[in-house]
Amino acid sequence: MPQFEPSTFASQIFWLVVSFGLLYLLMSKIALPRIADILEVRQDRIAADLDRAEALKREAEEARAAYEAALANARAEAQKLLEQAGEQAQAEAQRQLDALDERLAAKVREAEAAVAAAKADAMADLASLATETAEAATAKLAGAPVDGTAVRSAVDAALAATSSRKE
């Protein structure tokens, strides 16, 4: 093999040093600075993307916090409106119940007055009927006419005693 020929070692070493030197100069002055620039641009882009992602994450968290706060406020407002509606409905029901109680109490008073009037009429009719019946019975039993005022006062006393025992 010609590369292992000892007589060509000096020229091979010369060309090795020359080609290595040229390769070193080419790499250090042209290729490696371009690669370093590309890596730096890539690193800057990655850092910018990470910063942007962090900013977007903060914005998303702020938006989520604002959403949750708005949702909590809406729920609280809805709860307050429900409570107000319940209170209003209860107040309206109580008002209607009070009005109904008043109407029923008025009807009861009217009915009691009507019953009292009917009772008074019945008692007046009963008093005159009892007086007539007592006069007729006493006249028939005694066989003589009876004093109407005496019978009337006796019937009134009996009715008064009866009504005072019932009350």
| Token couple for 1 | 């093999």
Residue bearing tokens 């007729």: 136
Residue spans of the chain under pLDDT 70: 1-3, 165-167
Query: What pLDDT score was predicted for residue 1?
Result: 66
> Is the overall model pTM greater than 0.75, yes or no?
no
d(CA 153, CA 116): 23
